[in-house]
């Protein structure tokens, strides 16, 4: 299992950054290889990705979500991965968004890509594209979900 951590500072307030991140169906606009995400309910999503010519579908569950602080998830099927996105207020119109993911590459191509640092570069690129996406919108998110999801066992 590999752990990837990437941060990006975005020139929007913390609520705008968080609100945009809760719009999972917009991820294909800034995440490389993400073809589609369907939000099934408040805590379940179905992902369709394409990596190296291979299309994969899997389900994921939001395991914890707190407005303007964090969104955590784990995969339910398909490639084994989990992660958390945190939001840190740096100023009135500046936020640090940090992604920390644990990924268990599935198959030879993904394992080789992990060893060559391709997954790290992809996450770095996704974070940079998120920055460009939200800043280009003039600090206006495409929507928001402000509900709380408590970590299981809390």
What pLDDT is attached to residue 6? 96
Order the strands of the 44-51 sheet from edge to edge. 2-10, 94-104, 80-91, 70-75, 54-66, 44-51, 34-39
CATH of domain 2-136: 3.30.530.20
pLDDT tens digits, residue range 55-109?
889 999 999 999 999 999 999 987 788 999 999 999 999 999 999 998 876 654 5
Kindly list the domain boundaries of the chain, sorted by start residue: 2-136
What pLDDT is attached to residue 106? 66
CA dist 11 and 143 (Å) reads: 18
> Both tokens of residue 127?
């974070």
Q: Is the pLDDT of residue 115 over 80?
A: no
Is residue 18 within 8 A of residue 87, CB to CB? The reply is yes
Could you tell me how many helices (H) and strands (E) the chain has, helices first?
3, 7
> Mean pLDDT across the stretch 45-50?
91
By percentage, how much of the chain surpasses pLDDT 90? Answer: 63
pTM, entire model: 0.89
Taking alpha carbons only, the member of 88, 124, 102, 116 closest to residue 10 is 88
Bigger pLDDT: 145 or 104?
A: 145
Q: What average pLDDT is seen over the chain?
A: 88
pLDDT tens digits, residue range 17-35?
999 999 999 999 999 989 9
What pLDDT is attached to residue 17? 97
What pLDDT is attached to residue 113? 54
Is residue 65 within 8 A of residue 147, CB to CB? The reply is yes
């Amino acid at each position: 299992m590999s752990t990837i951590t990437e941060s990006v500072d975005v020139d929007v307030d913390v609520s705008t950054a968080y609100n945009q991140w809760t719009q999972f169906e917009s991820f294909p606009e800034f995440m490389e290889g993400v073809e589609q995400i369907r939000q099934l309910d408040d805590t379940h999503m179905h992902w369709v990705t394409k990596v190296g010519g291979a299309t994969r579908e899997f389900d994921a569950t939001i395991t914890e979500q707190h407005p303007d602080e964090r969104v955590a998830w784990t995969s339910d099927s398909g490639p084994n991965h989990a992660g958390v996105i945190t939001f840190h207020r740096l100023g009135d119109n500046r936020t640090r968004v940090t992604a920390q993911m644990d990924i268990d590459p599935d198959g030879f191509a993904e394992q080789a890509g992990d060893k060559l640092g391709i997954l790290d570069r992809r996450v770095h690129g996704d974070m940079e594209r998120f920055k460009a996406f939200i800043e280009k919108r003039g600090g206006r998110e495409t929507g928001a979900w402000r509900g709380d999801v408590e970590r299981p066992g809390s």
